[in-house]
Structure 1
Amino acid sequence: MAYEIPVTQARAELAELINRVVYGGERVVVTRHGKPLVALVSAADLEKLEAEPEPEEQRATSALSSVHPLMPAAPAESRRFGIAAEHQDPRRG
Structure 2
Amino acid sequence: MAYEIPVTQARAELAELINRVVYGGERVVVTRHGKPLVALVSAADLERLEATEAPAEEQVISSLSSVRGVTSAPGEQRRFGIAARHRDPGAPDA
Greater Cα radius of gyration, structure 1 or 2: 2
Identity %: 85
* Deviation (angstroms), 1:38: 0.2
Distance 1:32 1:55 in 2: 33
| Unmatched segments (≥5 aa) in structure 2 | 68-79, 81-94
Instruction: Give the 4+ runs in structure 1 shifted more than 6 A.
Output: none
- TM-score, normalised on structure 2? 0.59
- TM-score, normalised on structure 1? 0.59
CA RMSD for the aligned pairs? 3.3
* Deviation (angstroms), 1:54: 6.4
Distance 2:54 2:36 in 1: 23
* Deviation (angstroms), 1:53: 4.2
After superposition, give the CA deviation of every residue in 1:35-75 in whole Å (9 maximum; x if it has no partner).
Answer: 0000000000000000014697xx67xx68xx6xxxxxxxx
Q: Aligned residue for 1:83? A: none
Residue 15 of structure 1 aligns with an amino acid whose one-letter code is: A
